[in-house]
Amino acid sequence: MRFWDASAIVPLIVKEQSSLECGRLLDSTPLVWALTPVEVISAIERLGRAGVLNEDARRTAHDQLNTLRGAWAEVDDLQTVRVRAERLLATHQLRAADALQLAAALVACDEQPAGVEFVCLDRNLSAAALREGFSLLP
CA distance 138 to 18: 9
Q: In the chain, what's the furthest Cα-to-Cα distance? A: 43
Query: Which pTM value belongs to this model?
Result: 0.94
Q: Where are the domains of the chain?
A: 2-137
Residues with Cβ < 8 Å from 39, sequence gap 6 or more?
6, 97
Residue 115: its pLDDT value, please? 94
Which CATH code is given to the segment(s) 2-137? 3.40.50.1010
SS3 50: coil
Q: What is the chain's pLDDT, residue by residue, as a tens digit (138 residues)?
A: 999 999 999 999 999 999 999 999 998 799 999 999 999 999 999 999 999 999 999 999 999 999 999 999 999 999 999 999 999 999 999 999 999 999 999 999 999 999 999 999 999 999 999 999 999 999
